[in-house]
Chains A and B, each alone.
Chain A
Amino acid sequence: MTDATITPSQPINRRSAFRYFLAQLNASTWIGIVIVVSLVLAAFFAPQLATHDPAHQNIMDQLAEPGSKFWLGADQYGRDIWSRIVYGARYSLTIGFFAILTALVVGTLIGMIAGYVGGRIDIIFMQVMDVVLAFPSLILGLALVALMGATLSNIVIAIAFTATPAFARIARAGVITQRDREYVQACQAMGFSGPRILFRHIMPAILPEVMVMASLWMATAVRTEASLAFIGLGLAPPTPTWGGMVRDGFDNILSSFHLALVPSLAILLLVLAFNLIGDGLRDAIDPRLKDAS
């Protein structure tokens, strides 16, 4: 607990603060980070890692067993599953990342304004968020994608929409606890403008919690995207998405279960990794929660 001797009265060196933060991360968080980084690298280097064109069909190879030609077998159209998995990582990660980034920016902004301004703005903003929050994220995502069409940007928007209220709620709660603190009052006494106080002074204080939320919601976003693809509302074929691969594999699950199993494991791995990271970050940022658990 020597780290606990760091107090706000001491000058905080950013590098040492980061090191302190890293030291707080437990082993399972590191496992999560390693998995995510590996998958990001796989997605980035998909053209180098793939052994086949992920959309290339060869009917003669349909339902091929895993082996030297097809490391993880081939699907019902004779497409290489390994190549589709590494390309599929691109879509899962891209959609997850941009959906949560959008939700983070929009949600945090809404929550901060609602929390800082208060009054009628607060009531209106948060009630709208409550309405959105009332829908299960998959159902809401499904409705939006069905309405707008299943394109990459629409899926990002749909998932972002479902995740926004969570960020709004957490940002608002953070702002409310901060806004009556002395440093905020000092800022106000010095005549700083509302936006300046909000974004330069309050935001850094609430950001860690928002980041924890983001990493946990990344898992949800990946899962939602896979679920949408599984029910046929994912990116149109022949785009390799993990959820779509599970869907395709389902027709032959009784004889070639690896078709659905491999992409399912990929989804499992990515969701698990984001959850590990989210949990680890939460523990590192708010040790009280760790003790409580």
Chain B
Amino acid sequence: MMHFKFPRALALAAILAGSALATLPAMAAKTELTLGAAAADIGNLDPHYSASTTDRTLVAWIFGGLVRFAPGTTDPARIEPDLAESWESSPDKLVWTFKLRKGVQFHHGYGEVTAEDVVFSLQKAADPERSAFATDYASFDKIEAVDPYTVRVTLKNAIPSVLGPLANYAGGFIISKKAYEERAETFSRRPVGFGPFQLDSIEPGVAVHFTAHKDYFRGTPKLTKVTYRFLNAAAARDLAFLAGEVDAATGLADPNWLKRTLAADGTTVDIFDPAELTVLHINTKKAPFDDIKVRRALAYAVDPSRIATYRGTEFTRVGKSVIPSNNLGYTEDNGHVEFDAEKAKALLAEAGYPDGITVKMISSQLPSYESSNQILQAQLQEAGFKLELQPVEHATWHQMIRQDLSPLVTYGAARFPVADVYLSQFFHSNSAIGSPAAVTNFSHCDVADKQIEAARVETDPEKQLQLWQEAQRLILEAVCGIPVTETSGVWARRKTLDWGFDFQGSMSLGPLVTELTHFTE
């Protein structure tokens, strides 16, 4: 009997082992992703108001646009179809017609995405009462639904990039009209889009939970759940990452951090575009900075190279204009000044402050801001500026600086990489804090309005570039802002996590999680 039993038992074992091995990869590969972010909470998930890095990162998972930046890039030349499967323009480039994909479904059973939703979304994005990005649509004349799957956009004048404001970024996100009307004010915490992940729940200050949007038109996402945890303290975030509690985490633009993180087993670091340009915005309408001499003194007092060294040259370079260096229209030939403490002191004395001057600044407690501001504080001290920092929590800081409460505002930002956007949002008088269409013009700058507006409608590319460059010169001459540094985004990631694309850049300033994102084991 033994003679027969043994091979049979062996065969059974082989079958069991074989089947176990065959199912092993499927069983082992994780499908739940947890991210740890340098943020305390969400602000506003209505994509047309999402301004903070966290809000922008999350709305990019929830929503889509007519077109999108190829995942992993921030290159306007690589914009590809998203909701729109094709588009065409009239010969004068003023009328654009978009054909929509059929059968694209919104989250939570809100039905198919139609031209009506697109028109509603874009009209909302262009309305300063319902959007923070209305200025991006100043040249849009009409947005109409030709039929349920065709949208026509008519422009007042040709603009540098039509696809830019229609992409998966800022005002370009398409929201569900029905959900927006039903959910009213709560939409900002209960958003409905058609992106690969739908918002499941928010635990204030703890985490935001997402589930896969099974009907996503590019296919059901490989991940089933995504959790975005708020781990604002850098050390806590690092520990959570090293302990395996989170699969990827916001990094620090700090050489020590980089060394430490890469030394850990199975980890890698993504350094990506767009580099956020930090500008020290100066309120030009209030004393003492209403005096150009004091502003010029401040410009000489800032030494960006020291901040860049502190941050690490892997991530940070010196800012040389009031718009990011990747922008179309950027120039360094703009009269920006180099650090010179003695000149700063002399200018201050000339302005009537021979013994120096004390100025207050509300400062975010986000580690990157906190450290930059402390370095700035020490530099300014050398040049006669006593900078009194008033540290507040990051979300509070966002609110306070929008109420003109801080004469100086250090603000890091990256926008759609065409000069018009950054210039309009930060230096055009329409965007000034306190105005109806207020965006982020903290300095109340108005010296380059004419050039910014003219460039927007200029059809000759060469002349357009000249206008943008002149705008930068005028803004720097009036010292509305002082360029400080440009810092790339940085995230730590477990090597087993595959974003599903080559992560070189992200318009949302954080990692894009798509239907292709998965774990390799």
Q: Name the CB-closest residue of B to A256.
A: B256
CA distance A56 to B382 in the complex (A): 10
Q: How far is the CB of A18 from chain B (nearest CB, A)?
A: 46
CA distance A55 to B252 in the complex (A): 23
Count of residues in B whose CB is under 8 Å from the partner chain: 28
The one of B234, B239, B375, B393 in contact with A77, judged by C-beta atoms closer than 8 angstroms, is B375
Interface of chain A, main secondary structure: loop
Asked if A251 contacts B252 (CB within 8 A), the reply is: yes
CA distance A247 to B378 in the complex (A): 19
Asked if A251 contacts B234 (CB within 8 A), the reply is: yes
The reply on B328 being an interface residue by CB < 8 A is: no
Q: Assess A59 versus B388: contact at CB under 8 Å? Given A232-B393, A255-B256.
A: no
CA distance A57 to B303 in the complex (A): 13
Q: Assess A59 versus B391: contact at CB under 8 Å? Given A232-B365, A238-B378, A254-B235.
A: no
The reply on B389 being an interface residue by CB < 8 A is: yes
Which residues of A lie under 8 Å from residue B373 when comparing CB positions? 237
Asked if A232 contacts B391 (CB within 8 A), the reply is: yes
Asked if A59 contacts B235 (CB within 8 A), the reply is: no
The reply on A149 being an interface residue by CB < 8 A is: yes
Which residues of B lie under 8 Å from residue A232 when comparing CB positions? 365, 391, 393
The reply on A264 being an interface residue by CB < 8 A is: no
Q: How far is the CB of B516 from chain A (nearest CB, A)?
A: 32
The one of B256, B309, B370 in contact with A252, judged by C-beta atoms closer than 8 angstroms, is B256
Q: Name the CB-closest residue of A to B390.
A: A236
CA distance A77 to B328 in the complex (A): 35
CA distance A57 to B238 in the complex (A): 25
Asked if A250 contacts B234 (CB within 8 A), the reply is: yes
Asked if B310 contacts A59 (CB within 8 A), the reply is: yes
The reply on A105 being an interface residue by CB < 8 A is: no
Which residues of B lie under 8 Å from residue A55 when comparing CB positions? 378, 381
Count of residues in A whose CB is under 8 Å from the partner chain: 21
Which residues of A lie under 8 Å from residue B378 when comparing CB positions? 55-57, 77, 238
Q: How far is the CB of B462 from chain A (nearest CB, A)?
A: 42
Asked if B374 contacts A238 (CB within 8 A), the reply is: yes
Q: How far is the CB of B472 from chain A (nearest CB, A)?
A: 29
Asked if A59 contacts B309 (CB within 8 A), the reply is: yes
Which residues of B lie under 8 Å from residue A77 when comparing CB positions? 310, 371, 374-375, 378
The reply on B260 being an interface residue by CB < 8 A is: yes
CA distance A255 to B378 in the complex (A): 25
As a 0/1 sequence over residues 374 to 415 of chain B, the CB contacts with chain A under 8 angstroms (1 = contact) are 110110010000001111010000000000000000000000
As a 0/1 sequence over residues 121 to 151 of chain A, the CB contacts with chain B under 8 angstroms (1 = contact) are 0000000000000000000000000000110
Q: How far is the CB of A188 from chain B (nearest CB, A)?
A: 54
Which residues of B lie under 8 Å from residue A250 when comparing CB positions? 233-235
Residues of A51-94 contacting chain B, CB below 8 A: 55-57, 59, 62-63, 76-77
CA distance A253 to B252 in the complex (A): 14
Asked if A254 contacts B238 (CB within 8 A), the reply is: yes
Asked if A149 contacts B377 (CB within 8 A), the reply is: no
Asked if B367 contacts A251 (CB within 8 A), the reply is: yes
Which residues of B lie under 8 Å from residue A237 when comparing CB positions? 370, 373-374, 377, 389, 391
Q: How far is the CB of A222 from chain B (nearest CB, A)?
A: 21
CA distance A76 to B368 in the complex (A): 12
26 residue pairs of the A-B complex, CB under 8 angstroms, read: A55-B378, A55-B381, A59-B310, A59-B375, A63-B256, A76-B371, A77-B310, A77-B374, A77-B375, A149-B390, A150-B390, A150-B391, A232-B365, A232-B391, A236-B389, A236-B391, A237-B389, A238-B377, A238-B378, A250-B235, A251-B233, A251-B234, A251-B235, A254-B238, A254-B260, A255-B256
* B contact residues vs A (CB 8 Å cutoff): 233-235, 238-239, 242, 252, 254, 256, 260, 306, 309-310, 365, 367, 370-371, 373-375, 377-378, 381, 388-391, 393
A-B contacts besides A254-B235, A254-B239, 8 pairs, CB < 8 Å: A55-B378, A56-B378, A59-B309, A62-B310, A76-B254, A76-B256, A237-B374, A238-B374
Give me the 10 closest cross-chain CB pairs, A-B, nearest first: A57-B378, A251-B234, A250-B235, A253-B235, A59-B310, A236-B389, A232-B365, A237-B374, A255-B260, A59-B309
